[in-house]
Structure 1
Protein backbone atom coordinates (compact mmCIF):
# COMPACT_ATOMS: atom_id res chain seq x y z
CA UNK A 1 0.00 0.00 0.00
CA UNK A 2 1.25 3.46 -0.80
CA UNK A 3 3.61 5.12 -3.25
CA UNK A 4 7.35 5.62 -3.33
CA UNK A 5 9.34 8.85 -3.47
CA UNK A 6 8.24 11.46 -6.01
CA UNK A 7 9.99 10.96 -9.35
CA UNK A 8 11.22 14.08 -11.13
CA UNK A 9 11.01 17.71 -10.12
CA UNK A 10 8.89 18.34 -7.06
CA UNK A 11 5.58 20.13 -7.73
CA UNK A 12 5.05 23.57 -6.22
CA UNK A 13 2.08 23.02 -3.93
CA UNK A 14 1.99 24.17 -0.31
CA UNK A 15 -0.30 21.26 0.57
CA UNK A 16 2.46 18.75 -0.13
CA UNK A 17 4.81 17.41 2.55
CA UNK A 18 8.52 17.54 1.58
CA UNK A 19 9.28 14.50 3.75
CA UNK A 20 6.65 12.42 1.96
CA UNK A 21 7.83 13.59 -1.45
CA UNK A 22 11.34 12.50 -0.51
CA UNK A 23 10.55 9.22 1.27
CA UNK A 24 7.24 8.09 -0.21
CA UNK A 25 3.72 7.99 1.22
CA UNK A 26 2.41 4.75 2.69
CA UNK A 27 -0.46 6.17 4.71
CA UNK A 28 -4.01 4.85 4.52
CA UNK A 29 -5.36 7.70 2.37
CA UNK A 30 -7.07 7.89 -1.02
CA UNK A 31 -4.85 8.58 -4.02
CA UNK A 32 -6.00 12.19 -4.23
CA UNK A 33 -4.32 12.89 -0.88
CA UNK A 34 -0.98 11.25 -1.64
CA UNK A 35 1.96 13.36 -0.43
CA UNK A 36 -0.35 15.89 1.23
CA UNK A 37 0.46 17.24 4.69
CA UNK A 38 -1.76 15.89 7.44
CA UNK A 39 -3.19 19.31 8.32
CA UNK A 40 -3.92 20.00 4.64
CA UNK A 41 -5.95 16.79 4.38
CA UNK A 42 -7.96 17.64 7.50
CA UNK A 43 -8.60 21.17 6.21
CA UNK A 44 -9.83 19.84 2.88
CA UNK A 45 -12.09 17.27 4.54
CA UNK A 46 -13.54 20.04 6.71
CA UNK A 47 -14.93 21.70 3.58
CA UNK A 48 -17.13 18.69 2.75
CA UNK A 49 -17.93 16.69 5.86
CA UNK A 50 -21.55 15.60 6.23
CA UNK A 51 -24.04 16.70 8.89
CA UNK A 52 -24.25 13.45 10.84
CA UNK A 53 -22.17 12.56 13.89
CA UNK A 54 -21.38 9.18 15.43
CA UNK A 55 -21.24 8.36 19.14
CA UNK A 56 -19.93 5.15 20.71
CA UNK A 57 -20.22 4.10 24.32
CA UNK A 58 -16.88 3.00 25.76
CA UNK A 59 -17.21 1.27 29.11
CA UNK A 60 -15.15 -1.88 28.44
CA UNK A 61 -12.67 -0.85 25.70
CA UNK A 62 -14.74 -2.52 22.96
CA UNK A 63 -12.55 -3.52 20.00
CA UNK A 64 -15.38 -2.55 17.62
CA UNK A 65 -14.89 1.15 18.31
CA UNK A 66 -11.97 1.35 15.90
CA UNK A 67 -14.04 -0.19 13.13
CA UNK A 68 -16.87 2.28 13.75
CA UNK A 69 -14.44 5.20 13.66
CA UNK A 70 -12.89 3.98 10.41
CA UNK A 71 -16.32 3.77 8.79
CA UNK A 72 -17.19 7.24 10.12
CA UNK A 73 -14.12 8.52 8.26
CA UNK A 74 -15.12 6.73 5.05
CA UNK A 75 -18.70 8.04 5.22
CA UNK A 76 -17.60 11.63 5.92
CA UNK A 77 -19.05 12.02 9.41
CA UNK A 78 -18.77 15.49 10.92
CA UNK A 79 -17.15 14.04 14.05
CA UNK A 80 -17.12 11.02 16.31
CA UNK A 81 -17.84 11.03 20.03
CA UNK A 82 -16.55 8.67 22.71
CA UNK A 83 -18.83 8.31 25.73
CA UNK A 84 -17.41 6.89 28.95
CA UNK A 85 -13.73 6.09 29.21
CA UNK A 86 -11.53 8.54 27.33
CA UNK A 87 -9.03 5.91 26.17
CA UNK A 88 -10.34 3.56 23.51
CA UNK A 89 -9.00 0.72 21.36
CA UNK A 90 -7.65 2.53 18.28
CA UNK A 91 -6.20 -0.49 16.52
CA UNK A 92 -9.18 -1.09 14.24
CA UNK A 93 -9.29 2.56 13.20
CA UNK A 94 -6.16 2.13 11.06
CA UNK A 95 -5.08 5.71 11.93
CA UNK A 96 -8.23 7.13 10.30
CA UNK A 97 -9.08 8.88 13.57
CA UNK A 98 -6.24 11.34 12.91
CA UNK A 99 -8.24 12.86 10.06
CA UNK A 100 -11.43 13.32 12.07
CA UNK A 101 -12.70 15.46 14.92
CA UNK A 102 -12.92 13.55 18.19
CA UNK A 103 -15.00 14.55 21.21
CA UNK A 104 -15.15 12.92 24.62
CA UNK A 105 -18.11 12.94 27.00
CA UNK A 106 -17.91 11.28 30.44
CA UNK A 107 -21.62 10.37 30.56
CA UNK A 108 -24.64 10.00 28.26
CA UNK A 109 -26.06 13.14 29.86
CA UNK A 110 -22.97 15.10 28.85
CA UNK A 111 -23.35 13.87 25.27
CA UNK A 112 -27.02 14.84 25.23
CA UNK A 113 -26.24 18.32 26.53
CA UNK A 114 -23.61 18.84 23.81
CA UNK A 115 -26.03 17.60 21.15
CA UNK A 116 -28.84 19.91 22.28
CA UNK A 117 -26.51 22.91 22.35
CA UNK A 118 -25.48 22.15 18.77
CA UNK A 119 -28.93 21.36 17.37
CA UNK A 120 -28.23 17.67 16.84
CA UNK A 121 -30.76 14.89 17.46
CA UNK A 122 -29.71 11.62 19.11
CA UNK A 123 -30.82 8.42 17.37
CA UNK A 124 -29.88 5.13 19.02
CA UNK A 125 -29.18 1.93 17.08
CA UNK A 126 -30.17 -1.20 19.04
CA UNK A 127 -32.80 -3.96 19.10
CA UNK A 128 -34.72 -2.71 22.09
CA UNK A 129 -38.41 -3.48 22.68
CA UNK A 130 -40.35 -0.86 20.79
CA UNK A 131 -37.47 0.02 18.47
CA UNK A 132 -38.38 1.01 14.93
CA UNK A 133 -36.95 -0.27 11.66
CA UNK A 134 -34.04 1.77 10.32
CA UNK A 135 -35.22 1.04 6.79
CA UNK A 136 -38.56 2.83 7.33
CA UNK A 137 -37.34 5.74 9.47
CA UNK A 138 -36.60 9.12 7.93
CA UNK A 139 -33.28 9.99 9.58
CA UNK A 140 -32.88 13.70 10.40
CA UNK A 141 -30.14 15.51 8.51
CA UNK A 142 -28.54 16.89 11.68
CA UNK A 143 -28.38 13.69 13.66
CA UNK A 144 -26.03 11.69 15.84
CA UNK A 145 -26.12 7.92 15.41
CA UNK A 146 -25.46 6.39 18.82
CA UNK A 147 -24.05 2.89 19.31
CA UNK A 148 -23.58 0.82 22.43
CA UNK A 149 -20.98 -1.80 23.16
CA UNK A 150 -20.86 -5.26 21.61
CA UNK A 151 -23.14 -7.50 23.65
CA UNK A 152 -24.93 -5.20 26.12
CA UNK A 153 -25.82 -2.61 23.49
CA UNK A 154 -26.95 0.85 24.53
CA UNK A 155 -26.82 1.57 28.25
CA UNK A 156 -30.10 2.42 29.98
CA UNK A 157 -28.87 5.97 30.55
CA UNK A 158 -28.11 6.40 26.85
CA UNK A 159 -31.46 4.93 25.81
CA UNK A 160 -33.20 7.57 27.88
CA UNK A 161 -31.35 10.35 26.02
CA UNK A 162 -32.20 9.15 22.48
CA UNK A 163 -35.35 10.49 20.84
CA UNK A 164 -35.72 7.23 18.90
CA UNK A 165 -34.08 3.82 18.79
CA UNK A 166 -33.82 1.92 15.53
CA UNK A 167 -33.04 -1.69 14.66
CA UNK A 168 -31.78 -3.20 11.41
CA UNK A 169 -34.09 -5.71 9.73
CA UNK A 170 -32.60 -9.21 9.33
CA UNK A 171 -33.76 -12.14 7.22
CA UNK A 172 -31.47 -15.04 8.11
CA UNK A 173 -31.01 -17.40 11.06
CA UNK A 174 -28.46 -15.44 13.09
CA UNK A 175 -29.74 -13.35 15.98
CA UNK A 176 -27.33 -10.50 15.44
CA UNK A 177 -24.59 -8.80 13.48
CA UNK A 178 -21.65 -7.18 15.23
CA UNK A 179 -21.54 -3.56 16.29
CA UNK A 180 -19.09 -2.52 13.58
CA UNK A 181 -21.29 -3.94 10.81
CA UNK A 182 -24.44 -2.41 12.29
CA UNK A 183 -22.76 0.99 12.48
CA UNK A 184 -21.71 0.80 8.83
CA UNK A 185 -25.26 -0.03 7.75
CA UNK A 186 -26.73 2.84 9.78
CA UNK A 187 -24.23 5.41 8.49
CA UNK A 188 -24.80 4.34 4.91
CA UNK A 189 -28.54 4.68 5.44
CA UNK A 190 -27.95 8.34 6.31
CA UNK A 191 -25.74 8.78 3.23
CA UNK A 192 -28.33 7.23 0.93
CA UNK A 193 -31.01 9.53 2.32
CA UNK A 194 -29.16 12.85 2.50
CA UNK A 195 -26.38 12.56 -0.09
CA UNK A 196 -28.15 10.56 -2.79
CA UNK A 197 -31.68 11.73 -1.96
CA UNK A 198 -33.18 8.26 -1.72
CA UNK A 199 -36.60 8.20 -0.08
CA UNK A 200 -37.16 5.79 2.79
CA UNK A 201 -39.52 2.85 2.51
CA UNK A 202 -42.47 3.83 4.68
CA UNK A 203 -43.77 0.31 5.22
CA UNK A 204 -42.41 -3.02 6.44
CA UNK A 205 -41.93 -5.63 3.68
CA UNK A 206 -44.88 -8.04 3.61
CA UNK A 207 -42.66 -11.09 3.24
CA UNK A 208 -39.11 -12.22 3.74
CA UNK A 209 -38.82 -12.09 7.52
CA UNK A 210 -38.11 -15.48 9.04
CA UNK A 211 -39.24 -16.43 12.54
CA UNK A 212 -39.71 -13.85 15.26
CA UNK A 213 -39.43 -10.08 14.62
CA UNK A 214 -35.92 -9.39 13.28
CA UNK A 215 -33.45 -7.84 15.65
CA UNK A 216 -29.92 -6.56 15.69
CA UNK A 217 -27.81 -6.77 18.83
CA UNK A 218 -25.23 -4.04 18.77
Structure 2
Protein backbone atom coordinates (compact mmCIF):
# COMPACT_ATOMS: atom_id res chain seq x y z
CA UNK A 1 0.00 0.00 0.00
CA UNK A 2 1.37 3.38 -1.00
CA UNK A 3 2.85 5.30 1.93
CA UNK A 4 2.83 2.23 4.14
CA UNK A 5 6.13 2.47 6.00
CA UNK A 6 5.82 -1.16 7.08
CA UNK A 7 6.26 -2.39 3.50
CA UNK A 8 9.78 -3.41 2.66
CA UNK A 9 11.61 -0.74 0.57
CA UNK A 10 8.96 1.92 1.10
CA UNK A 11 9.91 5.51 2.13
CA UNK A 12 7.93 7.41 4.70
CA UNK A 13 6.34 10.55 3.42
CA UNK A 14 7.67 13.75 5.06
CA UNK A 15 4.49 15.69 4.39
CA UNK A 16 2.88 14.38 7.54
CA UNK A 17 5.75 15.44 9.88
CA UNK A 18 5.59 18.57 11.94
CA UNK A 19 7.93 21.52 11.74
CA UNK A 20 11.61 20.58 11.90
CA UNK A 21 13.84 21.98 14.65
CA UNK A 22 15.42 25.34 13.88
CA UNK A 23 19.14 26.12 13.63
CA UNK A 24 19.13 28.83 16.22
CA UNK A 25 20.16 31.43 13.67
CA UNK A 26 23.29 29.59 12.57
CA UNK A 27 22.08 29.23 9.05
CA UNK A 28 21.19 32.91 8.81
CA UNK A 29 24.63 33.95 10.04
CA UNK A 30 26.27 31.60 7.56
CA UNK A 31 24.32 33.18 4.71
CA UNK A 32 25.27 36.67 5.87
CA UNK A 33 28.80 36.27 4.52
CA UNK A 34 32.08 37.61 5.95
CA UNK A 35 31.79 41.26 5.04
CA UNK A 36 33.96 43.28 2.69
CA UNK A 37 37.07 41.64 1.31
CA UNK A 38 40.17 42.92 3.21
CA UNK A 39 42.78 44.88 1.34
CA UNK A 40 45.69 42.92 -0.06
CA UNK A 41 48.02 44.43 2.58
CA UNK A 42 45.76 43.01 5.32
CA UNK A 43 45.53 39.44 4.05
CA UNK A 44 47.91 37.12 5.87
CA UNK A 45 50.36 35.51 3.46
CA UNK A 46 49.49 37.78 0.53
CA UNK A 47 52.59 39.17 -1.28
CA UNK A 48 51.39 42.72 -0.68
CA UNK A 49 51.02 41.97 3.05
CA UNK A 50 54.54 40.55 3.18
CA UNK A 51 55.93 43.62 1.42
CA UNK A 52 54.09 45.96 3.81
CA UNK A 53 55.40 44.02 6.82
CA UNK A 54 58.97 44.17 5.46
CA UNK A 55 58.69 47.94 4.90
CA UNK A 56 57.37 48.40 8.45
CA UNK A 57 60.34 46.44 9.83
CA UNK A 58 62.74 48.57 7.78
CA UNK A 59 61.15 51.79 9.11
CA UNK A 60 61.44 50.48 12.65
CA UNK A 61 65.09 49.55 12.07
CA UNK A 62 65.85 53.02 10.70
CA UNK A 63 64.13 54.62 13.70
CA UNK A 64 66.20 52.50 16.09
CA UNK A 65 69.38 53.39 14.22
CA UNK A 66 68.56 57.12 14.46
CA UNK A 67 67.85 56.71 18.16
CA UNK A 68 71.17 54.92 18.74
CA UNK A 69 73.03 57.54 16.70
CA UNK A 70 71.51 60.36 18.76
CA UNK A 71 72.39 58.64 22.02
CA UNK A 72 75.97 57.83 20.99
CA UNK A 73 78.89 60.27 21.32
CA UNK A 74 79.86 62.07 18.12
CA UNK A 75 83.39 62.24 16.78
CA UNK A 76 84.28 65.68 15.40
CA UNK A 77 87.10 65.30 12.86
CA UNK A 78 89.69 67.59 11.29
CA UNK A 79 92.38 69.92 12.61
CA UNK A 80 90.51 73.21 12.12
CA UNK A 81 87.09 71.96 13.33
CA UNK A 82 88.60 70.36 16.44
CA UNK A 83 90.64 73.46 17.31
CA UNK A 84 87.63 75.76 16.80
CA UNK A 85 85.45 73.50 18.95
CA UNK A 86 88.00 73.48 21.78
CA UNK A 87 88.39 77.26 21.59
CA UNK A 88 84.59 77.60 21.80
CA UNK A 89 84.67 75.27 24.83
CA UNK A 90 81.96 72.99 23.53
CA UNK A 91 81.35 69.94 25.77
CA UNK A 92 83.77 67.10 25.03
CA UNK A 93 84.85 63.86 26.66
CA UNK A 94 88.14 62.94 24.93
CA UNK A 95 90.67 64.01 22.30
CA UNK A 96 92.00 61.39 19.87
CA UNK A 97 95.28 62.01 18.04
CA UNK A 98 97.64 60.10 15.77
CA UNK A 99 101.04 60.64 17.50
CA UNK A 100 102.91 61.67 14.34
CA UNK A 101 100.71 64.73 13.66
CA UNK A 102 101.25 66.32 17.09
CA UNK A 103 104.84 67.23 16.24
CA UNK A 104 104.11 68.44 12.71
CA UNK A 105 101.09 70.75 13.00
CA UNK A 106 100.72 73.67 15.40
CA UNK A 107 96.91 73.39 15.29
CA UNK A 108 97.06 69.89 16.73
CA UNK A 109 99.62 71.05 19.30
CA UNK A 110 97.27 73.82 20.44
CA UNK A 111 94.33 71.38 20.52
CA UNK A 112 96.33 69.05 22.79
CA UNK A 113 97.19 71.96 25.08
CA UNK A 114 93.56 73.18 25.26
CA UNK A 115 92.35 69.65 25.98
CA UNK A 116 94.95 69.27 28.73
CA UNK A 117 93.91 72.60 30.28
CA UNK A 118 90.31 71.30 30.48
CA UNK A 119 91.39 67.94 31.88
CA UNK A 120 90.19 65.98 28.85
CA UNK A 121 91.70 62.52 28.30
CA UNK A 122 94.28 62.44 25.48
CA UNK A 123 94.07 59.13 23.60
CA UNK A 124 96.74 58.19 21.05
CA UNK A 125 95.62 55.87 18.25
CA UNK A 126 97.27 54.46 15.16
CA UNK A 127 96.26 55.72 11.72
CA UNK A 128 94.68 52.41 10.70
CA UNK A 129 92.58 52.31 13.88
CA UNK A 130 91.56 55.95 13.42
CA UNK A 131 90.50 55.21 9.84
CA UNK A 132 88.22 52.49 11.21
CA UNK A 133 86.82 54.72 13.96
CA UNK A 134 86.03 57.52 11.52
CA UNK A 135 84.43 55.23 8.96
CA UNK A 136 86.94 56.27 6.31
CA UNK A 137 86.16 60.01 6.63
CA UNK A 138 88.98 62.56 6.39
CA UNK A 139 90.23 63.04 9.95
CA UNK A 140 93.73 64.59 9.54
CA UNK A 141 94.92 62.63 12.55
CA UNK A 142 92.77 64.32 15.20
CA UNK A 143 89.24 63.91 16.54
CA UNK A 144 87.19 65.29 19.43
CA UNK A 145 84.60 63.08 21.11
CA UNK A 146 81.43 65.08 21.84
CA UNK A 147 78.67 63.71 24.10
CA UNK A 148 75.00 63.66 23.02
CA UNK A 149 73.26 67.00 23.50
CA UNK A 150 70.85 67.30 26.43
CA UNK A 151 67.69 68.85 24.96
CA UNK A 152 65.20 70.88 26.96
CA UNK A 153 61.42 70.47 26.78
CA UNK A 154 59.58 73.24 24.86
CA UNK A 155 57.74 74.18 28.07
CA UNK A 156 61.10 74.75 29.79
CA UNK A 157 61.71 77.76 27.53
CA UNK A 158 58.49 79.36 28.77
CA UNK A 159 59.67 78.84 32.35
CA UNK A 160 63.02 80.47 31.52
CA UNK A 161 61.21 83.45 30.00
CA UNK A 162 59.00 83.78 33.07
CA UNK A 163 62.04 83.73 35.38
CA UNK A 164 63.80 86.37 33.27
CA UNK A 165 61.01 88.91 33.77
CA UNK A 166 60.98 89.67 30.02
CA UNK A 167 58.28 88.78 27.47
CA UNK A 168 59.04 85.38 25.92
CA UNK A 169 61.00 85.37 22.67
CA UNK A 170 61.44 81.86 21.28
CA UNK A 171 62.72 80.75 17.87
CA UNK A 172 61.08 77.68 16.28
CA UNK A 173 62.88 76.06 13.33
CA UNK A 174 60.72 74.10 10.88
CA UNK A 175 62.69 71.30 9.19
CA UNK A 176 66.12 72.96 8.98
CA UNK A 177 68.62 70.23 8.03
CA UNK A 178 71.99 72.03 7.91
CA UNK A 179 73.75 72.01 11.31
CA UNK A 180 75.61 75.21 10.41
CA UNK A 181 72.30 77.03 9.98
CA UNK A 182 71.10 75.73 13.34
CA UNK A 183 74.32 76.85 15.01
CA UNK A 184 74.12 80.29 13.39
CA UNK A 185 70.49 80.75 14.50
CA UNK A 186 71.42 79.73 18.06
CA UNK A 187 74.21 82.31 17.99
CA UNK A 188 71.86 85.08 16.78
CA UNK A 189 69.15 84.06 19.26
CA UNK A 190 71.61 84.35 22.13
CA UNK A 191 72.95 87.68 20.85
CA UNK A 192 69.48 89.29 20.61
CA UNK A 193 68.01 88.08 23.89
CA UNK A 194 65.88 85.10 22.87
CA UNK A 195 65.01 82.57 25.55
CA UNK A 196 65.64 79.49 23.47
CA UNK A 197 65.34 77.61 20.18
CA UNK A 198 62.95 74.76 19.35
CA UNK A 199 63.69 72.11 16.71
CA UNK A 200 61.47 69.21 15.57
CA UNK A 201 62.40 65.69 16.60
CA UNK A 202 62.04 64.31 13.07
CA UNK A 203 63.21 65.45 9.63
CA UNK A 204 65.42 68.18 11.09
CA UNK A 205 68.98 68.54 12.29
CA UNK A 206 69.85 68.40 15.97
CA UNK A 207 72.65 69.89 18.02
CA UNK A 208 75.58 68.12 16.41
CA UNK A 209 79.22 69.01 16.96
CA UNK A 210 79.08 71.10 13.79
CA UNK A 211 76.12 73.08 15.14
CA UNK A 212 77.95 73.56 18.45
CA UNK A 213 81.02 74.87 16.63
CA UNK A 214 79.01 77.28 14.42
CA UNK A 215 77.25 78.70 17.46
CA UNK A 216 80.67 79.93 18.66
CA UNK A 217 79.91 78.91 22.23
CA UNK A 218 76.37 80.37 22.31
CA UNK A 219 74.91 76.86 22.63
CA UNK A 220 76.46 76.70 26.09
CA UNK A 221 74.38 79.73 27.15
CA UNK A 222 71.09 79.20 25.27
CA UNK A 223 68.82 76.17 25.68
CA UNK A 224 67.70 74.20 22.63
CA UNK A 225 64.46 72.22 23.01
CA UNK A 226 63.20 69.35 20.90
CA UNK A 227 59.51 69.07 19.97
CA UNK A 228 57.83 65.78 19.08
CA UNK A 229 55.32 67.72 16.97
CA UNK A 230 56.19 71.34 16.11
CA UNK A 231 52.62 72.26 15.11
CA UNK A 232 51.27 71.14 18.49
CA UNK A 233 54.08 72.97 20.26
CA UNK A 234 53.15 76.20 18.46
CA UNK A 235 49.51 75.65 19.42
CA UNK A 236 50.60 75.27 23.06
CA UNK A 237 52.62 78.48 22.81
CA UNK A 238 49.54 80.27 21.43
CA UNK A 239 47.51 79.04 24.40
CA UNK A 240 50.25 80.41 26.67
CA UNK A 241 49.76 83.86 25.13
CA UNK A 242 52.55 83.94 22.55
CA UNK A 243 52.04 85.39 19.07
CA UNK A 244 53.37 82.94 16.48
CA UNK A 245 55.13 84.95 13.78
CA UNK A 246 56.19 83.07 10.67
CA UNK A 247 58.99 84.27 8.41
CA UNK A 248 58.62 83.70 4.65
CA UNK A 249 59.44 85.45 1.40
CA UNK A 250 55.74 85.59 0.47
CA UNK A 251 54.57 86.84 3.87
CA UNK A 252 51.56 89.11 4.27
CA UNK A 253 53.31 91.94 6.16
CA UNK A 254 56.69 93.63 5.70
CA UNK A 255 58.98 93.09 8.66
CA UNK A 256 59.44 96.81 9.29
CA UNK A 257 55.64 97.28 9.40
CA UNK A 258 55.00 94.57 11.99
CA UNK A 259 54.66 96.11 15.46
CA UNK A 260 54.09 93.06 17.68
CA UNK A 261 57.65 92.06 18.53
CA UNK A 262 57.50 93.79 21.92
CA UNK A 263 54.86 91.24 22.99
CA UNK A 264 55.44 87.52 23.73
CA UNK A 265 56.52 86.01 20.41
CA UNK A 266 57.48 82.67 18.92
CA UNK A 267 59.41 83.43 15.71
CA UNK A 268 59.02 80.56 13.21
CA UNK A 269 61.57 80.08 10.43
CA UNK A 270 61.32 77.51 7.64
CA UNK A 271 63.58 74.97 6.02
CA UNK A 272 66.23 75.70 3.44
CA UNK A 273 64.57 76.02 0.04
CA UNK A 274 61.05 74.85 0.92
CA UNK A 275 60.35 77.37 3.68
CA UNK A 276 57.49 76.87 6.13
CA UNK A 277 55.54 73.63 5.84
CA UNK A 278 51.78 73.82 5.35
CA UNK A 279 50.80 72.63 8.83
CA UNK A 280 53.30 74.88 10.58
CA UNK A 281 52.22 77.88 8.52
CA UNK A 282 48.60 77.24 9.49
CA UNK A 283 49.66 77.62 13.13
CA UNK A 284 51.21 81.06 12.51
CA UNK A 285 49.11 84.05 13.60
CA UNK A 286 50.91 86.23 11.05
CA UNK A 287 53.55 85.66 8.37
CA UNK A 288 56.01 88.48 7.74
CA UNK A 289 58.50 88.98 4.93
CA UNK A 290 61.86 90.73 4.72
CA UNK A 291 61.92 93.21 1.82
CA UNK A 292 64.86 92.40 -0.47
CA UNK A 293 65.85 93.42 -3.99
CA UNK A 294 64.13 91.69 -6.88
CA UNK A 295 67.46 90.40 -8.17
CA UNK A 296 67.91 88.31 -5.00
CA UNK A 297 65.71 85.22 -4.85
CA UNK A 298 65.86 84.60 -1.09
CA UNK A 299 67.96 84.87 2.06
CA UNK A 300 69.69 82.09 3.92
CA UNK A 301 67.52 80.92 6.82
CA UNK A 302 70.09 81.88 9.45
CA UNK A 303 70.53 85.35 7.92
CA UNK A 304 66.77 85.90 7.79
CA UNK A 305 66.37 84.75 11.39
CA UNK A 306 69.15 87.11 12.48
CA UNK A 307 67.45 90.09 10.81
CA UNK A 308 64.08 89.27 12.41
CA UNK A 309 65.69 88.75 15.84
CA UNK A 310 67.41 92.14 15.54
CA UNK A 311 64.01 93.72 14.78
CA UNK A 312 62.56 92.01 17.85
CA UNK A 313 65.42 93.19 20.07
CA UNK A 314 64.97 96.73 18.78
CA UNK A 315 61.25 96.68 19.47
CA UNK A 316 61.95 95.55 23.03
CA UNK A 317 64.37 98.39 23.64
Q: TM-score range by the shorter chain?
A: 0.5 to 0.7
Structure number with larger C-alpha Rg: 2
Cα distance in structure 2, aligned partners of 1:156 and 1:62: 23
Tell me what 1:150 maps to: 272
Matched, 1:70 2:187: yes
Q: Compute the TM-score of the two structures, normalised by the length of structure 1.
A: 0.62
CA drift of 1:169 comes to: 0.5
Residues 1:159 and 1:66: Cα distance change in structure 2 (over 3 Å)? same
2:311 corresponding residue in structure 1: 189
Structure with the bigger percentage of helix: 2
Could you tell me which of 175, 199, 220 is aligned with 1:82? 199
2:257 counterpart of 1:136: yes
Give 1:159's aligned residue: 281
Residues 93 and 58 (structure 1), Cα distance of their counterparts in 2 relative to 1, 3 Å cut: farther
Kept in 2: contact 1:62–1:150 (CA 8 A):
no
What is aligned with 1:124?
246
**Unpaired segments ≥5 residues, structure 1:** 3-19, 25-42, 196-218
Distance in 1 between the 2:166 and 2:221 partners?
11
Provide the TM-score with structure 2 as the length reference. Answer: 0.44
Q: Is the 8 A contact 2:249 2:298 kept in 1?
A: no
Of structures 1 and 2, the one with the larger relative CO (CA 8 A, separation 6+) is 1
User: Residues 253 and 287 of structure 2 are in contact (CA less than 8 Å); yes or no, is this contact kept in structure 1?
Assistant: yes
Q: Which runs of 4 or more aligned residues in structure 1 lie more than 4 Å from their structure 2 counterparts after TM superposition? A: 46-50
> What RMSD over aligned residues (CA atoms) do the two structures have, in Å?
2.9
Give me the whole-angstrom Cα distance separating, in 2, the residues matched to 1:106 and 1:125. Answer: 21
CA contact (8 A) 1:49 1:77 kept: no
Distance 1:194 1:59 in 2: 27
SS at match of 1:58: coil
Write out per-residue CA displacement over residues 117-176 of structure 1, whole angstroms, 9 at most, x where no aligned residue.
422111000023x52101111124200110011110111111000011010011362111
